[in-house]
Each structure stands twice: as C-alpha cells, then as structure tokens.
Amino acid sequence: MLEISELAKSFGSRALWEGLNWTFMREGMTAVVGSSGSGKSTLLNCLGTLDRPTGGRILWNGKDVAAASGRQRRRMRKSDLGYLFQNYALVEHATVRQNLNYAIHGAWPWKRDDFNEELRQVGLEGRGNDPIHRLSGGEQQRVALARLLAKKPPLILADEPTGALDSENAQMVIDSLREMAQQGATVVVATHSDMVRDACDECLCLD
C-alpha cells in the first residue's frame, strides 16, 4: 500500500504543496492532476524516491521511504518501482532487447531474455534487434511499456505518459496500465489529459 501523510514540498520560500494526505488504490489507477507548476512531476519524483519531500511521510507497505537511507531507496527502486516517462528513458544506441535486459537484469546481466511475449503484447513482435534510435516515438513508448510488463513492479509511476502520442498509442498506454493495475499494481499517473484522467479510478488534484 502507498500512502502519503502531511506531505509537503517547498523550493526556497515557494511551497508547492503542504499537508497532502492520500491513500493510493492498490489494483487501481490514480490520476494526479493540477495546473502547470502545481508539482505533479515533483510528487511522482518524491513517491519514486528520486526527490525528498520537505516534510511529511511516504509510506510504502508501512515503511517511510521519505526517511530511508540512500541504499534503501535504491533497493526500493530496483525491486518495487517501475517508471513510465514522457521521454521514454531508453538507451538510444542500444537495441530494443538490450534495453529490456538492461532494465531487468542490470548493466552486465548474467541472464539474457528474448522478451518475445512482452514485445508481442505491445505490438513489437520480432523487433527485438531494432536499435532504439530508429523507432518512432510511439514505438519507443511501446518499448517502455514492454519494460514494465517484463519487470512487473508492484508500484508504477507514469509522468505524462501520453503527452507526445497520437490517440491510438495513447489508448494503448492506458490499456496497458489498466491491465497492470488489474494484475495487482498500484498505478499513479501525472497527467493533464482528460482522456487519461477519465480512465483512472480516482483523482488527486494538487490545485
């Protein structure tokens, strides 16, 4: 379970938010919405232990990850977290399969998988040897989704995952996130899209 309690974040004298309380749905999708500059991406970074809040607690399965050590935070990111970013966060000079192997097994994996099933699920069957830089934006987002399908993390954070996609690819992203939620994941999506918000089970507004 993911829960935030009296969470606050400031940059100098500017408070993004304070006193933020929420329990995120397990096996569900939560949309994080708000105007530009309201701190949607910052909240996801705090939930994903990439940033620290100014105050309050972030509880993941009862443990306060906001107060955890750097080593504990890295361990959580490796074992429990999956990210889906608007810029895809892929290694452009590597192949599709190499990107998936790197994400799942590390820089020098002893085990190398083909990920045929995950690539089939996102419509990239037979594309494992294609270099990332030759893929379209929509195809790169599909690789990022395949990465999540392969890892099967219990917590998924998606930051504007459909912002640069056409309607067909955007719907594919939403459907994939929904499927992972139905399989037990907690999915948190920062978005300005009405389409994404309406597809979620609940909505946390930062305005």
Tens of pLDDT, residue by residue over 58-100, are 999 999 999 999 999 999 998 999 999 878 889 999 999 999 9
Query: With b meaning 16 or more CB within 10 Å and e meaning fewer, what string describes 185-202?
Result: bbbbbbbebeebbebbee
The verdict on pTM exceeding 0.85 is yes
Radius of gyration of the chain (CA): 17
Beta sheet of 155-159, edge-to-edge order:
81-85, 155-159, 186-190, 28-33, 202-205
Report the pLDDT value the prediction gives residue 107, as an integer from 0 to 100: 56
In this predicted structure, the answer to whether residue 121 has a pLDDT above a threshold of 60 is yes
Q: What are the pLDDT digits (tens) for 13-29?
A: 999 999 999 999 999 99
- Cβ neighbours around 55 below 10 Å, total: 14
So what's the pLDDT on residue 114? 78
In tens, the pLDDT along 146-205 reads 999 988 999 999 999 988 788 888 898 999 999 999 999 999 999 999 999 999 999 999
pLDDT at 179: 94
- Domains identified in the chain and CATH numbers: 2-205 (3.40.50.300)
